[in-house]
Amino acid sequence: MPKDHGIGASTKRREDVRFLTGRGRYTDDINLPGQAHACFVRSQVAHGRLNGVNTDAAAGMPGVIRVFTAGDFERVGGLPCGWQVTDRFGAVMQEPGHPVLATGKVRHVGDPIALVVAETYDQARDAAEAVVVDIEELEPVLDMKAALAEGAPKVHDELTSNLCYDWGFVEENREAVNKAFETAHHVTTLDLVNQRLVPNAMEPRVAIGDYDFATDDSTLYTTSQNPHVIRLLMGAFVLGIPEHKLRVVAPDVGGGFGSKIFHYAEEAAVTFAARHLRRPVKWTCTRSESFVTDAQGRDHVTRIELALDAEGHFQAIRTETYANMGAYLSTFAPSIPTWLHGTLMAGNYRTPLIYVNVKAVFTNTVPVDAYRGAGRPEATFQLERVIDKAAREMGMDPVELRRKNFITQFPYATPVAVEYDTGDYNATMDKLLEIADVAGFEARLAESKARGKLRGLGVNCYIEACGIAPSHLVGQLGARAGLYESATVRVNATGGLVVMTGSHSHGQGHETSFAQVVADMIGIPDNMVEIVHGDTANTPMGMGTYGSRSLAVGGSAMVKATNKIIAKARKIAAHLMEASPEDIELKDGRFTVAGTDKSVAWGDVTLAAYVPHNYPLDEIEPGLEETAFYDPNNFTYPAGAYACEVEVDPETGKVTVERFAAADDFGNIVNPMIVDGQVHGGIAQGIGQALLETTTYDEYGQLLSGSYMDYAMPRASDVPFYAVDHSCQTPCTHNPLGVKGCGEAGAIGSPPAVVNAVVDALQRAGHSHITHIDMPLTPSRVWAAMQG
């Protein structure tokens, strides 16, 4: 029987009613009294010396209040980078400055140069066009390998080169890995590109700065996944506003996928402008602007080599990756191709020796940072592609080759510094083969053939590290932040609860699923629990939502705080029933003295806490409110197996995804319906990467794919229904809920499945020379491969 409430129930989302009736409150829906509007003047060239900005004409235009230029921000700090990577020689990465408005040079198309504030947005935009910018164009650096060549133009003149870092992991293994390759029975090599993607949350970014000069309080309303992080970074590092004088509100947020983690220049600029002008300043990003300002994702160029013995056992993996940082270091950019990528290179397999080399490179392009999966899709893609290629080269079945190398004993310490606590990769593979109906593939293949179509099947596995993270560990790895999470549970006198979480929900449905957890722990209806998030003024300091961490880390903090509440409530109940707290049981919202029929209701106890007439005041305080911080002692390791079936049109090269199946192990599940939805969305993004999406710059550094007319977003007709299953559950061993996280799995597991399937279709059709096609597998690329 499926559960009908609490943990494990597919409870309908309470947030939906406001979203379905137009009553959501997104940042752009907020308009403050006296609000002025901002428009940024942005660089139209990728690289140039900024010789002057003339604002005279703009300043005199109708409605213009003020035009800010870089000089106004002289006493303001630059945007900080939150992670410092140490290179393989022991030196810290090269870290350029990142001014709020471009200073001295412009470094990518979209780099902000000036900020026009006017009475209306149209007036601000008109005036922005009248700002005259004197830029001496410089040769842009776009290709990563060219950027590292001797004598290449430098993105940042103050750095010694365009190399941010050259990272080796694990550096001590380098020689041993090289040796293993010299003696290997078989080596499979694959060169590939994991193309640059634009995250494209459907809600464009918005920032509204507000300032109350009577109290000296600043407020920023922003489309963020982590308001506390923005408050800390902007307050402490950029504007010098102490946290108690700065409030950051991230109300309903229309998707993030990573791109709304980071602290952006516009947030600091409008907060700064509001303080100067003593009135609210609002900026709403246009979609075209978001294409050249939101941090982008992926952009790796990789060679991966896999060494195998004669039976197909993996002996060693060696990779070399060039990772594009773009023009500046976005907030967490340095960590993505390193710690979130190298540590996953073992995948689901026993490989004794692994060496990962990553060269991070500055180019005159939009900064690159975390996008759904962040480093893990890049690791999974190369590994699962090279395994497929190896299977083909060695004449082995790709599923059997994977099974032969699966990790089956847990805990398992990989050679890349992480320890998987639990998993059952054969179970998810078995489940996958069942729900994908792999047994029926041959019949479907014959049917496709009869229609003149090619058909292929691709299968792969994935593992990810979620629930970032143990603070002590990430601190050693270069994080300049802790990565715990927090919750305050406030019980009201009549028994209802308000949970204030440091996590943020921007589509994940925390208001529903978090309430299910707390209600279940106490045994009361879900609707007695309210979840509050997104405002630094009424939530405890938390690190926010990304890396599939909300339930694993934020949920654990909430469980901890709720357990404190229950412990105290039990004492109150014991007092009310003149029993000892150890004898008190809590079930279905009632406290009972074990072995008796004596009981008090949850509401009686909460009332006693706030009306402490008959109350042990000498032992415990009145009231019922607790805060907890939870810092995990390991990552969580969701894993699974994915299968894709495609049809390829031999005439045009067009690929159609006919079937897609995902078998995931997320540990315990709180709301299966929400989990399914997370996987669906991830799969569509993965199919988008595999077949449609790419970010293209021309030779001058102009973004050619800068709108939805040019950037191919997956649409309803590009994807099929998906078969998803998460009944294989090996609960996480180190968090109280046993949960692992599900937000990114779909985006991590699906791109290799699609590409494996297309290569399989082409191979079956006799194109034996095709072992790889770089994503996106557009008709033209597939067609060209077939001709070769």
Partner 1 sequence: MTRVTMTVNGKAVSGEVEGRTLLSQFLREGLGLTGTHIGCDTSQCGACVVHVNGQDVKSCTTFALECEGAEVRTIEGMANPDGSLSTIQQAFQDHHGLQCGFCTPGMVMTASALLAKNPTPSEAEIRHYLEGNICRCTGYHNIVKAILAASGQDVSHLGHGDAVAAE
Residue of the chain from 209, 458, 502, 682 that contacts partner 1 (CB under 8 A)? 682
For the bound state, the minimum distance from the C-beta of residue 384 to partner 1, rounded and expressed in Å, comes to 20
Site for partner 1 in 170-229 (CB under 8 A): 200-204
Interface mask toward partner 1 for 108-147; x: CB under 8 A? --------------x-------------------------
- When the beta carbons of 501 and 750 are compared against partner 1, the nearer one is 750
Q: Applying CB under 8 A, which of residues 82, 377, 509, 555 lies at the interface with partner 1?
A: 509
The site that binds partner 1 (CB under 8 A) totals a number of residues, namely 74
Stretch that binds partner 1, among 110-118, 183-191, 424-432, 525-533 (CB under 8 A): 525-533
Q: Give the integer Cα–Cα distance in Å for 272 and 239.
A: 7
Find the part of the chain contacting partner 1 (CB under 8 A) among 136-144, 285-293, 317-325, 545-553.
285-293
Judged by beta carbon, residue 12 or residue 245, the one nearer partner 1 is 12
Q: Rounded distance, CA 691 to CA 340, Å?
A: 24
Q: Which does 665 bind (CB under 5 to 8 A by kind): partner 1, ligand FES, none?
A: none
Span interacting with partner 1, options 143-151, 307-315, 681-689, 780-788, rule CB under 8 A: 681-689
CA dist 343 and 167 (Å) reads 12
Q: Which amino acid is at 297?
A: G
Within residues 243-282, the interface with partner 1 by CB under 8 A covers: 252-255, 257
Q: Which amino acid is at 115?
A: L
Q: Is 486 in the site for partner 1 (CB under 8 A)?
A: no
- Among 280, 507, 749, 751, which residue sits at the site for partner 1 (rule: CB under 8 A)? 507
Instruction: List the beta bridge partners of residue 252.
Output: 26
- Cβ(281)–Cβ(117) under 8 Å? yes
Exposed (0-12), middle (13-18) or buried (19+): which is 460, by Cβ within 10 Å? buried
Instruction: Report d(CA 477, CA 320) in Å as an integer.
Output: 20
Question: Residue 337 or 677: which CB sits closer to partner 1?
Answer: 677
| 13-42 positions binding ligand FES, by CB under 6 A | none
Q: Is 450 in the site for ligand FES (CB under 6 A)?
A: no
Site string for ligand FES, 94-133 (x = CB under 6 A): ----------------------------------------
Amino acid at 703: L
Of residues 103 and 288, the one with the C-beta less far from partner 1: 288
- Per-residue contact track with partner 1, 434 to 473, x per CB under 8 A? ----------------------------------------
Q: Which stretch binds partner 1 (CB under 8 A): 170-178, 315-323, 719-727, 757-765?
A: 719-727
Residue closer to ligand FES, measured from CB, 202 or 310: 202
Report the run of H or E that residue 500 belongs to, with start and end.
strand 497-501
Contact 467, 548 (CB under 8 A): yes
Q: Name every residue whose Cβ is closer than 8 Å to that of residue 22 and which is 6 or more positions away in sequence.
A: none
Show the site string, 723-742: x = touches partner 1 by CB under 8 A, - = not.
xx------------------
In a 3-state reduction of DSSP, which class is residue 187? strand
Beta-ladder partners of 218: 211, 246
Contact in structure between 487 and 628 (CB atoms under 8 Å): yes
By C-alpha distance, which of 259, 358, 350 is closest to 308?
350
Is-cis flag, bond preceding 99, omega within 30?
no
Q: Which one of partner 1, ligand FES, none interacts with residue 666, CB within 5 to 8 A by kind?
A: none
Strand partners, 626: 489
Contact track, partner 1, 745-774, x by CB under 8 A: -x----------------------------
- By the 10 Å C-beta count (0-12 exposed, 13-18 middle, 19+ buried), 141 is classed as buried
Q: Which secondary-structure segment (H or E) carries 322? A: strand 314-326
349 DSSP assignment: B
Rg of the chain taking only CA atoms, in angstroms: 27
What residues between 502 and 531 interact with ligand FES by CB under 6 A? Answer: 507
Residue 722's binding partner out of ligand FES, partner 1, none, with CB under 5 to 8 Å set by partner kind = partner 1
Task: Please enumerate in sequence order all residues whose Cβ is within 8 A of that of 734, keeping only pairs 6 or more positions apart, or say none.
Answer: 421, 632, 633, 634
Is 709 a binding residue for ligand FES by CB under 6 A? The answer is: no
Query: What is the Cβ-side half-sphere exposure of residue 407, based on CA atoms within 13 angstroms?
Result: 25
Our finding on whether 2 is near partner 1 (CB under 8 A) is: yes
168 binds ligand FES (CB under 6 A): no
Binding-residue pattern over the window 187 to 206 for ligand FES, x denoting contact by CB under 6 A: ---------------x----
3-state DSSP assignment of residue 302: strand
The DSSP 8-state label assigned to residue 141 in this structure reads -
Nearest approach in angstroms of CB 250 to partner 1 is 12
Residue 255 touching ligand FES (CB under 6 A):
yes
Give the residues lining the site for ligand FES (CB under 6 A): 202, 254-255, 507
